[in-house]
Structure 1
Amino acid sequence: MSANTADTKPPKPGFRIPVPFWAQVLLGLVVGLVLGFVARTFDVSWLATTLDKVGGIFVQLLKLAVAPLVFFAIMVSITNLRKVNNAARLAGRTLLWFMITSLIAVVIGLVIGLVSNPGSGSALTPADGARPDHAGSWLDFLTGIVPTDIITPFSELNVLQIVFMAVVAGVAILKIGPKAQPVLTLSESVLELLQKALWWVILLAPIGSAGLIGRAIVQYGWDLLGDYATFTADIYIGCALVLFGVYPLLLAFAGKLNPLHFFKGAWPAIQLAFVSRSSVGTMPVTQQSAIRLGVPKDYASFAVPFGATTKMDGCAAIYPAISAIFVAQIFHVEIGIKEYLLIAFVSVIGSAATAGLTGATVMLTLTLSTLGLPMEGVGLLLAIDPILDMMRTATNVAGQVVCPLIVASREKILDTGKYSGVTSSPVDPVDPVDVEQPGAVPAAA
């Protein structure tokens, strides 16, 4: 028997963290709640500072890659459409479903606001408000799309302008053809590098979530919810209705898909979005979730980045609808059917103003200015915004997976075998790039 034959052994499985990633993040949330409660209740200043720094560093790491990630993701996704049959049709259908779901979400937000009257039972007054330093307007929105130079959008993190430049660059590459291939190859390599680096940051989500939740408890405690109780409940109920009601119904009836498989596949992205409060920061997980659910990779690489910067049912539909009613009631301003139609219009058309970053202040100011409501109302909502933004962003990200699934199913390009066979933890945070087998254990090198 030769030495080679004698030494032949099956490869040992690679090392895997025994605790699922979603459970690690959930554990981080629980730990953060406990530590935040201890720091606030017993005035442990060093613990409060630690939670603040940990949460802040995690958010900064996520934001660090946002500008280049958005640019290269959008640019490469535009060029990837050349590999997809009926690309123009798919792009149009994707945008159409973005608008349909946004319209449904804003209607739900308006109904909840009209039924609950979130501002009528609050002790807040107009004196508690404060005018923001800058209020968004349609003129700012339209003129702000085109940058004055190529550096400022990246230095000031103006995502809308970055998207504009990325679309122009992507279309130009398509028009130039083979001569632009070296640029495209370099861009694809840079995008893969950025995604890998961002995945390393995502691995810190359990620690980051503990810091973020703990910091929120220390800063706001539970007392803050008193004056905003109805408003906060409205936002969470509205988002929950869309996330657990509207999306499953659309998947079942429009996409002919089992909603349970969607939640199995998309839950890691939804959970990370809840913690990070950033659609763009969650984008690699969102895209990988869509691919694992059977959306073709070339189409997902377009639809998910596009959605991460424009598809905001939580931040741009439910939130501004309920917020407008809340502010109007605090300031005793009557709003009628015309104003409700304007809210729906702003939500469906202007959602790109949210740009996938944490917070929805731009969208809120755009809505209030369109309705002629006092801009001081923005100041009323800033204090509670971080608590609301978690649920809003989770809803945003869920919608960014739902729409490509519906389009892919209706266009007969969805891999139904992948969709129906997806596992409860489909995204591997250790090595997410081009994973083919859900749950496969890689061999050690």
Structure 2
Amino acid sequence: MSTSAETSKSAQTPKSSRIPKVPFWAQILAGLALGVLLGGIAKSGDIGWLTSTLAHIGDLFVQLLKLAVAPLVFFAILVSITNLRQVNNAARLASRTLLWFMATSLIAVAIGLAIGLLTNPGAGTGLTPKDGKLPEHAGSWIDFLTGIVPTDIITPFTELNVLQIVFMAAVAGIAALQLGEKAEPVLKVSRSFLELLQKALWWVIRLAPIGTVGLIGNAIATYGWNLIGKYATFTVDIYVGCALVLFGVYPLLLSTVAKVNPLQFFRGAWPAIQLAFVSRSSVGTMPVTQKVTERLGVPREYASFAVPFGSTTKMDGCASIYPAIAAIFIAQIFDIPLGIGDYLLIAFVSVIGSAATAGLTGATVMLTLTLSTLGLPLEGVGLLMAIDPILDMMRTATNVAGQALIPILVAAKEKILDREAYAAATSIRIGDSGATATVEPEPAAVPAAAAAS
């Protein structure tokens, strides 16, 4: 009896001594809180080494994400296009996906314009045209159209021109579809490269809580709260606009078009949304977005096309809400009146030119494209650069939510959505422990580090 009790007690001892698992969302919140604390200390105490350390941590995290962007986009688009041959009515799925991208972008830009006109974000800021400066890189329609086609196959990868990479990948994917079985050896290698890149990116994603400390801490230490005060109305406008789309428009579409429970969507897609908020990169979040979309009942063959496509072209936050409010803000600073024709142009640019954002952190190219179309001073971009990282978090979270939403809407309308899988999406998790930040797909596909935890 006593031996049995001792054995039972000893067997239970290791279990009780284990460190409790920390959910990924809690890690992110802890990173945000620590970043604000350290940034405030660095700012108030003028501690240069702490500010520099926070900057290096944040920059390193973003750089690691960008390192995988070029090859990840190329192979993801290439493989996703070839996967469409496994789907019935592939052409209709692709066209409906594009139409929904455009429709939701139009709704988002309308919300952005309405908020900007109601709140006058440029009034009473104390900012003047002298505070602005020309951006290093400006976008125009000529640059946008001629810049789609690369002059060689190397430069787009070295200069991280995502739009040109998408173009090359699309051409290669269509060519592979035309070749059929002859292209299978190339596709097999491409799938292997894609899996390798995604595996490596999981490791970077696991560092997101640490990257959060650096990114938020550096923003606070460098600019402080006074800067946010100058842009208070503008900042609130962006967050409110994104929130209306994220928690108003998207749930409405889910309940009326897809006829599914919106709460299930947020339970399932939350890992991707929270990672997007921290990383500020739609492309960097793409592997997570695709996994949660599949777990929400979208067939893998279709999700593997729609999500990579959306990660480079579907930007309700960066390409619709933000440029609409920003254009009104800059016009008011420079005392330039805008008319109905200008607002229609903003909507046109947002719907047609969203691919210019290319899924990377920031929306400068899209903003300069909008300003140049309206004839507004490009110096206005300089007014917004300092506050951009804080705005970009909410913008990117909205982008990624939309990238997960559209495949669900299309799949539901085409009657290929697995509604039972959608209803069970609460089981999606990102990270089991303090060291893990992976969405758990099928057991065989879980990264080794996650399985070990």
What TM-score range do you get, normalising by the shorter chain? over 0.9
Superposed CA deviations along residues 114-135 of structure 1, whole A, max 9, x for unmatched, are: 0001111211011111122332
- Could you tell me how far apart the structure 2 residues matched to 1:336 and 1:171 are? 42
Q: CA deviation at 1:23?
A: 1.5
Q: CA deviation at 1:438?
A: 13
Which of 258, 262, 268 in structure 1 is aligned with 2:261?
258
Q: CA deviation at 1:225?
A: 1.2
Which of 346, 369, 372 in structure 2 is aligned with 1:369?
372
Name the structure 1 match of 2:220.
217
Name the structure 1 match of 2:419.
416
Question: Is contact 2:148–2:163 with CA below 8 Å preserved after alignment?
Answer: yes
- Could you tell me how far apart the structure 1 residues matched to 2:152 and 2:20 are? 46
Does residue 184 of structure 1 match 2:187? yes
Name the structure 1 match of 2:243.
240
Q: What value does the CA root-mean-square deviation take over the aligned residues?
A: 2.1
Name the structure 2 match of 1:158.
161
Name the structure 2 match of 1:102.
105
Find the residue that maps to 1:423 and give its secondary structure.
Answer: helix
Question: CA 1:432–1:190 in 2, change beyond 3 Å: closer, same or farther?
Answer: farther
Please show how residues 95-174 of structure 1 align to structure 2 within 5 Å: 95-174=98-177
Q: CA deviation at 1:249?
A: 0.5
Which of 320, 326, 329 in structure 1 is aligned with 2:329?
326
Does residue 435 of structure 1 match 2:435? no
Question: Is contact 1:288–1:427 with CA below 8 Å preserved after alignment?
Answer: no
Superposed CA deviations along residues 389-430 of structure 1, whole A, max 9, x for unmatched, are: 111000000000011111111111111111111126434556
Which of 198, 222, 244 in structure 2 is aligned with 1:195?
198
- Could you tell me how far apart the structure 1 residues matched to 2:161 and 2:80 are? 19
Q: CA deviation at 1:43?
A: 2.1
Question: Is contact 2:35–2:217 with CA below 8 Å preserved after alignment?
Answer: yes
The farther-off stretch of 93-102 and 429-438 is: 429-438
Letter in 1 for 2:411: A
Name the structure 2 match of 1:344.
347
Does residue 354 of structure 1 match 2:361? no
- Could you tell me how far apart the structure 2 residues matched to 1:114 and 1:53 are? 39
Please show how residues 10-25 of structure 1 align to structure 2 within 5 Å: 18-25=21-28
Q: CA deviation at 1:357?
A: 0.3
The farther-off stretch of 425-434 and 403-412 is: 425-434
Find the residue that maps to 2:122 and give its secondary structure.
Answer: coil
Count the aligned residue pairs: 431
- Could you tell me how far apart the structure 2 residues matched to 1:284 and 1:206 are? 18
- Could you tell me how far apart the structure 2 residues matched to 1:199 and 1:38 are? 32
Name the structure 1 match of 2:391.
388
Name the structure 2 match of 1:5.
none
- Could you tell me how far apart the structure 2 residues matched to 1:436 and 1:252 are? 31
Letter in 2 for 1:54: I
Does residue 399 of structure 1 match 2:423? no
Question: Is contact 1:264–1:426 with CA below 8 Å preserved after alignment?
Answer: no
Letter in 1 for 2:248: G
Q: CA deviation at 1:47?
A: 1.9
Question: Is contact 2:292–2:439 with CA below 8 Å preserved after alignment?
Answer: no
Letter in 1 for 2:35: G
TM-score by length of 2: 0.92
Letter in 2 for 1:244: F
Name the structure 2 match of 1:308.
311
Q: CA deviation at 1:443?
A: 8.2
Which of 178, 193, 200 in structure 2 is aligned with 1:175?
178
Does residue 77 of structure 1 match 2:108? no
Name the structure 1 match of 2:429.
426
Question: CA 1:296–1:424 in 2, change beyond 3 Å: closer, same or farther?
Answer: same
Q: CA deviation at 1:444?
A: 7.2
Superposed CA deviations along residues 211-266 of structure 1, whole A, max 9, x for unmatched, are: 11111111111010122111111011100100111101111111101000011011
- Could you tell me how far apart the structure 1 residues matched to 2:138 and 2:439 are? 39
Q: CA deviation at 1:46?
A: 2.3
Quote the sequence identity (%): 72
Question: Is contact 2:23–2:430 with CA below 8 Å preserved after alignment?
Answer: no
- Could you tell me how far apart the structure 1 residues matched to 2:317 and 2:216 are? 20
Letter in 2 for 1:146: V
Does residue 44 of structure 1 match 2:47? yes
